[in-house]
Amino acid sequence: MALDKEEMSEKVLAIAEALLNEGGAENLKARTIAEQAGISVGSVYNLFADLDEVHRAVNMRLLDRLGATGLAAMADLERQGVTDVQHRILAMAAAYVRFVEAHPGSWPAVLAFNRGRATRPGPDAYDALLDALFDIVAGVLKAGDFGLDDNRRALAARTLWSSVHGIVTSGYVANSNSRQAEEIWHQIELLVGVFVKGLEHGGAFAHAETKPE
Amino acid sequence: MALDKEEMSEKVLAIAEALLNEGGAENLKARTIAEQAGISVGSVYNLFADLDEVHRAVNMRLLDRLGATGLAAMADLERQGVTDVQHRILAMAAAYVRFVEAHPGSWPAVLAFNRGRATRPGPDAYDALLDALFDIVAGVLKAGDFGLDDNRRALAARTLWSSVHGIVTSGYVANSNSRQAEEIWHQIELLVGVFVKGLEHGGAFAHAETKPE
DNA sequence: AGCAGGAAATGAACATTGTTCAAGAGCTAT
DNA sequence: ATAGCTCTTGAACAATGTTCATTTCCTGCT
C-alpha cells in the first residue's frame, strides 16, 4: 500500500526542494527529510547516495522546469503573433526573473552547487539543461536578421543569457526588496536594448586588439 | 614576543584564504585554522565571532584587492594614453577574469556567501566594495561620448559589469579547462563590442512596452 | 500454511564539525 | 608580592553526514 520507491524519491525531492527554498543549502538535513517523509535516515540513503545527490536532483528539476517555462513563454508569444526579437528576449528574461523570485532560497543553491568539486567526469546533465536554455535564446536570435552564422549566433545567445543571469544574480546578492526588483528589470531592459541595437549595427564583429595573455 | 592581536588576525585570514582557495567554503574549519596558526580553537573565536565572520573578512579583502587591481589597470592605460572606451572596458574585464582565475576556490565562495541569510541590517561594507567596482566602470563610460545623464550612465555601468560578472561565473560553473577560458573571453569581447555599439546608437533609450507585472 | 531467501528499512553508533565556557596562565599596576 | 584583569586553552556539548549490523517485510516455492 505504501509508496513506490519512485514515488518516495519524488516525495523526498519535494521535501528537499521546500527545505532548500526555506533555508538554503545548509537547511538540507538528512534527519529533517527523513522525519517529514515519514521514513528513517537510513532509508534516505537507500534512495540517494548522499545529500549531494539529493541536492543535484532538486537542481535538475528546477532547471528543467525553468526551461519548460521559457519554452511556454515563447510559445505564447508565437500564438500572439509577436515576432519582434527584443520583445521575445525580454519575455524570456522576464520568465527567468519570475522563476528566480519564485524560488528565493533554492535558486542560489543551484548556482552555488557545483563549486568546490574540482574535476568532474565530463559533460554533465547539468550542462545539457543549461544548453537547452541557450538554445531557446539562439532560436529567438535566429528570427532577427543580424548577419550571424550559426557559431556566432550561438556565442551571442550564450553571451546574452549569461549576462541576464549575471544581472539577476548580482541583483539578489544584496537585500531583496522591491527596489532591487525594479533595478534588475531596468538593467535587463538596458542590456537587451543595447544588445539588439549593437547586433543590428554589427557590434558583434568589432574585434579588440588587446587580449589578456 | 608573539604576535599582536592584529597580526594574529591577519595570519588567520591568510590561512583562511588559502583554505577557501583550496577547498571552498566547506574547507574552512576552525580546527584547521587553529592548528595552522599555532593557536587553540578557542583563540580563533576570540579573534572572530564565528567562522562566518572569518569568511566575510576574507571576502572583503578579496573584493578590496580586486578593486585595487582594476584601478591599477585603468591607471596603466591612462599612462599609455589609451582613451578608447572599448579597450579600457576590455582591460577592466581582463583584470576581473585574471583575478577570478587566480582565486579558483575562494571566488565562488565570495559569490555564494550572502545567500541564505534572509534579512540583513542594511547597506553593507560588501555593497560599498561592489559599488567601487561599478564606479570605475562608470568613470570609463563617462569618457565615451554617449548621450547619457549620470543616472543612466550609472545604470549602464552596473548593467555592463553585472553582465561581465555573469559571463565569468557561468563559464566557471562547468569544468574549467582552457576551452572555457577562451569561451569566456570570446563572450566578453562580444558583449563589450555589442554594448558599446549599442550605446553609440542610442540602444539605451529603446524602451519596450512589455514589463512583467 | 509454512518456509527460505533476499530486499528494504531501521536507528543506534561513529566521525567530524561549530561553538561554548570554566579553569588556568600570564601580565600589569600598585 | 599580590590583586585584578585579559587572554588562552582544550575539554565538553550539540548537531550533523554517513555507515552498517540487525530486524522487518515481502515474494515465490513446496
Residue A122 — left, alpha, or beta (φ > 0 → left; ψ -120 to 50 → alpha)?
A: left
Q: Which has the closest alpha carbon to B61: B69, B73, B72, B49? A: B69
With a cut of 70, list the residues of chain B below it in pLDDT. 1-2, 113-123, 173-178, 203, 205-213
Kindly report, residue by residue over B103-130, the tens digit of the pLDDT: 887 887 777 766 544 444 445 777 788 8
Residues of A in contact with B23 (CB under 8 A): 116
3-state secondary structure of B46: helix
User: Which residue lies nearest D9, CA-to-C1' measured?
Assistant: B40
Place A70 in a pLDDT band, splitting at 50, 70 and 90: very high
pLDDT at residue number B122:
47
pLDDT at residue number A192:
97
Cβ–Cβ under 8 Å, residues A95 and A76: no
- Residue from the list A27, A127, A209 with its beta carbon closest to the beta carbon of B174: A127
Cβ–Cβ under 8 Å, residues A171 and A187: yes
Kindly list the distances between the CA atom of residue B21 and the CA atoms of A185, B31, B55, in Å, as whole numbers in the listed order: 34, 17, 12
Give me Rg for the CA atoms of chain B. 20
Q: Does B29 touch chain A (CB under 8 A)?
A: no
User: Which residue lies nearest D6, CA-to-C1' measured?
Assistant: B46
Res. A8: pLDDT tops 60: yes
Kindly report, residue by residue over A13-53, the tens digit of the pLDDT: 999 999 999 998 899 999 999 999 999 999 999 999 999 99
Q: CA-to-C1' distance for B46 and C28, Å?
A: 21
Residue B91: all three cell numbers together: 582591460
Kindly report, residue by residue over B7-32, the tens digit of the pLDDT: 999 999 999 999 999 998 899 999 99
- Residue from the list B90, B159, B190 with its beta carbon closest to the beta carbon of A156: B190
The pTM assigned to this predicted structure is 0.88
Q: How does the average pLDDT of chain B come out, rounded?
A: 87
Residue A20: all three cell numbers together: 532548500
Q: What percent of chain A has pLDDT over 70?
A: 85
Q: Which has the closest alpha carbon to B143: B208, B181, B213, B92? A: B92
Tell me how far apart the terminal alpha carbons of chain B are, to the nearest angstrom.
64
Choose from A115-124, A154-163, B96-105 the range with maximum mean pLDDT.
A154-163
The shortest C-alpha distance from B185 to chain A (Å) reads: 8
Residue A205: all three cell numbers together: 564583429
Give me Rg for the CA atoms of chain A. 20
Which positions 149-208 of A are in contact with B (Cβ < 8 Å)?
A: 155-156, 158-159, 162-167, 169-171, 173-175, 183, 185-187, 189-208
